[in-house]
């Protein structure tokens, strides 16, 4: 009598169970990382908003616009007109939207390097602006946010509609122009702004 070689049904079942556990763990791990990135973005919005409020209360001026920012050696003054001028994603170090980072950091309200814009967990930039997407007042914006993440952030912090409320999002945000659609489109990357 010859002995047959191969896997038994029990051995094959065990292999399939192990493979399914590994796949399930990988998918769950991805979901945990994704959710963590969303929470970090929400925390960044709130932290930066708190820093701007703290600066305004302490120095009676907006960061970036502060005409007395030379209180710190090496700081560049703003024009003091009550507006943080410049594009939220400006790369010009002398724009008030970039000086805001310098002022917040020199006041020890945020960490980072001089006027360099902060970055967020979805590998995009964070900026400070006024008037983008018809939001009144000062706002914090983040670009490069995937649609599903942007929708969750909007739902958690506001109403879930990208063209209304204190959180707005668009693929190409424009000054004084609200996003036209309320819903998010899968596959798009959004700039999400939070009114403080």
At 157-169, the pLDDT tens digits run 999 999 999 999 9
Give this prediction's pTM.
0.85
pLDDT band for 43, please (50, 70, 90 cuts).
very high
Report the 3 state secondary structure along the chain: CCCCCCCCHHHHHHHHHHHHHHHHHHHHHHHHHHHHHHHHHHHHHHHHHHHHHHHHHHHCCCCCCCCCHHHCCCCCCCCCCCCCCCCCCCCCCCCHHHHHHHHHHHCCCCCCCCCCCCECCCCCEEEEEECECCCCCEEEEEEEEEHHHHHHHHHHHCCCCCCCCCEEEECCCEECECCCCCCCCCCCEEEEEEEC
Tokens of 93: 């170090």
**How many whole angstroms separate alpha carbon 114 and alpha carbon 123?**
20
**Residue 39 or 115, more confident:** 39
Supply the mean pLDDT for the chain. 91
**How many whole angstroms separate alpha carbon 170 and alpha carbon 48?**
21
- Residue ranges of domains in the chain: 17-61+114-195
């Amino acid at each position: 009598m010859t002995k047959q070689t191969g896997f038994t049904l029990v051995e094959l079942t065990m292999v399939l169970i192990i493979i399914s556990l590994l796949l399930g763990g990988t998918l769950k791990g991805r979901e945990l990382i994704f959710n963590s990135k969303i929470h970090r973005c929400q925390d960044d919005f709130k932290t930066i908003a708190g820093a701007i409020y703290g600066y305004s209360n302490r120095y009676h001026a907006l960061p970036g616009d502060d005409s007395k920012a030379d209180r710190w050696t090496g700081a560049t003054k703003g024009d003091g007109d009550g507006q943080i001028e410049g594009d939220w994603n400006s790369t010009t170090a002398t724009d008030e939207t970039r000086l805001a980072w310098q002022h917040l950091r020199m006041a020890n309200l945020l960490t980072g390097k001089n006027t360099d814009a902060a970055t967020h967990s979805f590998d995009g930039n964070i900026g400070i602006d006024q008037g983008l997407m018809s939001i009144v007042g000062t706002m914090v914006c983040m670009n490069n946010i995937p649609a599903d993440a942007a929708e969750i952030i909007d739902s958690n912090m506001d109403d879930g509609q990208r063209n209304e409320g204190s959180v707005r999002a668009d693929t190409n945000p424009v000054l004084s122009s609200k996003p036209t659609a309320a819903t998010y489109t899968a596959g798009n990357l959004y700039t999400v702004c939070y009114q403080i």
